[in-house]
Every structure is written in C-alpha cells, then in structure tokens.
Amino acid sequence: MNITVIGTGYVGLVTGTCFAETGNQVVCVDIDEDKVERMKQGEVPIYEPGLEALFERNTRQKRLSFTTDLKAGIQKAEAIFLALPTPPGEDGSADLTYILGVAEQLSKIITRYTVIVDKSTVPVGTADKVHNTLAKHLDESLFDVVSNPEFLREGVAVDDFLKPERVVIGTQSDKAKSLMERLYKPFVRQGNPIYFMDEKSAEMTKYAANSFLATKISFMNEIANLCEIVGANVDHVRIGVGSDSRIGKRFLFPGVGYGGSCFPKDVQALARTANQNNYDFQILNAVMDVNDRQRKVIVQKILRYFDNDIAGKTFGIWGLSFKPNTDDIREAPAVYIIQELLEHGARIKAYDPEAMENINRLFGEKVQLCDDQYEALIDVDALAIITEWSVFRTPSFSVMKELMKAPVIFDGRNLYEMDFMKDQDFYYESIGR
C-alpha cells in the first residue's frame, strides 16, 4: 500500500518506519527542511531503541522516503496519517491548529479516494472537524476520516507498534474499515484484536486509557506519601496491591510524578473536554494536582535536610529524561526539580545517557552537564536520582562516597534497598519508605 505520514515526531517516524517494515511504500512529510535533509542522509532525529535498524533498512531498500513537499508526498497515497503536534493551550485544551491546517491544504490537492487517519491524540469530535475542513473544497466521496489512536510507549515504541496489544480504529465507513484492516493485519497475526468503533469512541478511548494510567500513578504517589507519615513501606504495599488481578502490577511504582508528551497533555485535554461540556471531572483534577505536588517532593526533602538553605550548594542529578530509554524531556520531573533548585540558589551537575542535549537547549550554562554519572558526583553536597536508567541501578557506592562531599542521596525512584544503603553508610531518602 502507498502511505503518507505527515509529521515525523515520535509517533510519525515510528509509524512510518514500521509500516515500511511490512512492505508498504511510505513517504514521510515534514515542514522542517533541516530535519528532512538529515533523515535523507540516514540520521534518525530521535532516540528510540530499535528504530535506527528499521530506519536504515527501509530507507536503503527505498520503502521509506522523506520530503517537505506535501503535494508530491501524497501523490500516490491510499492512506494519509496525520501525526502532528497537538500541544496544550493555556486552558489545557489540545491545539488543533496543525491538524486542521494540514486538512485545509489536503482538501485542495487530493484528487482520488483517500483515507485520512488521525494518528495524533486528539479531543473527541476532531474527526468531525477534520471531515468538515476537508469537505470545504473536496467532494465527500473522495475521502473518509478515521480515528486511529496510538498506544506507543516511548522507549518501547517500535515493539508496541510491531506487536500491539490492540489496534483501535474509529470509522463508520466500510470502505475505510477494509483498507485499515488490510493495513494492520500483518501486525496482529498472533490474534491480538483490532477493535472497530465510531470515531468519537476511538478518540475517547485514547484519552481514557492514558488518564486511567495517570490516575494509578498519582494514587500510588498519594499512598507513598501517606506511608512515610504512618511508617509503612510502599514497596510492600505495592506488591500486596498489585497481586490483585483486578488491579494489576503495572503503573504502581511511586516516584516524582508522571511526565512526557502524553500523560500531562492528555489528562489536561480530557479535563478540558469535560469542562466544555459542563461536567466536573473531579478525579482528573485531583490527579493533576497530586502530580504537580509530587514533582516537588524531592526538593522538599532536600530543603528539609539542609534546613531550607541550599544557596551555593551543589547537587548531582542522575536522570533527566521523563523516563528511561528516551531523550524526551517534555514535562520531565527533572526539569521542574532543576528549576526549583536553581531558584533556591543551588548549582547543578547532571548526567543522563540520552537527554543532555535537550537539557542543554533548555538550561544552557545554568546546568553543568557531565560525561558520565560519576563526574556528576564530584564535590556535590548530595545526589538526586530522578530517572531510573538501568546504569544507575548498580553503581559503585565506594566510588560515590569518595567523590561526594557527603554520602547523601535523595532517590526519586526507589532504586536501592533501605537496609543496604544503611550498611553502606549513606544518608538515603526515597519515596514512601
């Protein structure tokens, strides 16, 4: 099949590359000329495990190509995937400017029947808006608009696409349904389901899924905070709760809050949708409030330890991306923690396996970026662990003590056992223990 993907962010590039991997001819379109040129030269613009090998193979075998020319990019397309940014506005609602702008352009250049697929995470009713925008200049017999939300987790996005737990497709057109079913069939050979539903239900499914997962995280962070007060251990509570099959083990790890490109934006957007429809979605509002507070819990622990005076003190930071195995720092807890520490007059030395270039763009010389995790410990007053990269799980504690001014660790991801850290003679604070 001939496919066009408009937008080459995490979703667009993974989508295009994985569709090419099953034999389709894929053209990726982006307005960023420099980015497109780099991709043409074989450079993958994002860090995502497993993506580079597929990218290289499919560009070499000419199934995956890139252009800034929208008209040329859709010339042969049977399906056009819109994988465009939907950033949150000041009121939390998703900004559809990019999606509707491209739909307006497409309405003037499509010449034969094409399925237009909303791959971006969009509010309920967006498929109708895209349909109406296309219909301004285009006969309705020449297109169908489908909602096909992505459920990709950064860090394992390639596996998620190639072996999806489920595929959700929102369409009421038999013609579009047939095309989408044929397109996704190679990915569900083991029997995982393709769910067909109406467009609005598909749009709601994505928001509901992410908001529920965010709710689990915030709930467990509240439990962790209460555990500290009453003297319980959240690790034991998590295991006990997670063994209930009705609840499940995942997304029960306490920490410094959720971040990334999906959860914060999607929860805000769903809450905004509720407000626009005069519904008070109290749980979602609480989830967001808890997450905002949780981002600062490490700073509060640090201030408490140093008697609220950290001006001139130096802190090591391990982990800058919002989660391991990605370079994405959008809404990353580390960003908020660094900002708070800087505002209190502290100095920062930081290390992350992949995200330092992005942090440098954000903070510049305000944050000293280090070549490895141990350099980030030289002469620091304390270490804060923010992201649970595997490389941080089994460090040399003897080397750490030699490098640090004092053996003090604030662990936002509960990487180490409490008794072990006591035996190592570290002052060690974590979350909920």
The confidence score (pLDDT) of residue 94 equals: 83
Phi-psi domain of 162 (left: phi exceeds 0; alpha: psi -120 through 50; beta: other): alpha
Which helix (DSSP H) or strand (DSSP E) does residue 351 occupy? strand 347-351
Complete DSSP assignment for 130-147: HHHHHHTTS-GGGEEEEE
pTM of the model: 0.91
Read off the pLDDT of residues 233-290 as tens digits, 9 standing for 90 and up.
999 999 999 999 999 999 999 999 999 988 999 999 999 999 999 999 999 999 999 9
Read off the pLDDT of residues 298-329 as tens digits, 9 standing for 90 and up.
999 999 999 999 999 999 999 999 999 999 99
Read off the pLDDT of residues 150-177 as tens digits, 9 standing for 90 and up.
999 989 999 999 999 999 999 999 999 9
Of the candidate CATH numbers 3.30.390.50, 3.30.70.1450, 3.40.50.720, 3.40.630.40, the domain formed by 297-429 belongs to 3.40.50.720
Paired sense of beta strands 143-147 and 114-118, if any: parallel
Are residues 218 and 290 in contact, defined by beta-carbon separation less than 8 angstroms? yes
Whether the domain at 206-294 and the domain at 297-429 fall into the same CATH topology: no
How far from chain centre, in Å, is Cα 213?
13
Read off the pLDDT of residues 179-231 as tens digits, 9 standing for 90 and up.
999 999 999 999 999 999 999 999 999 999 999 999 999 999 999 999 999 99
Which residue's entry shows tokens 């465009």?
84
Quote the CA–CA distance of 236 and 110 in Å, as a whole number: 58
Section 3-23 average pLDDT: 97
Complete DSSP assignment for 30-77: -S-HHHHHHHHTT--SS--TTHHHHHHHHHHTTSEEEES-HHHHTTT-
Which residue's entry shows tokens 């030395």?
349
Q: Does residue 87 carry a pLDDT above 90? A: no
Kindly report the backbone phi and psi dihedral angles of residue 405, in degrees, each rounded to the nearest multiple of 5, phi listed first. -65, -40
Strands (E), 177-257: 194-197
Section 346-362 average pLDDT: 97
Q: Which top CATH class is 2-197?
A: alpha beta
18, 227, 262, 370: the catalytic one is 262
Which residue's entry shows tokens 């010389």?
365
Read off the pLDDT of residues 17-51 as tens digits, 9 standing for 90 and up.
999 999 999 999 999 999 999 999 999 999 999 99
CATH topology of domain 206-294: N-(1-d-carboxylethyl)-l-norvaline Dehydrogenase; domain 2 (1.10.1040)
Whether residue 227 lies in the annotated active site = no
Domain boundaries, the chain: 2-197, 206-294, 297-429
Quote the CA–CA distance of 117 and 102 in Å, as a whole number: 12
Q: Which residue has the higher pLDDT, 134 or 260?
A: 134
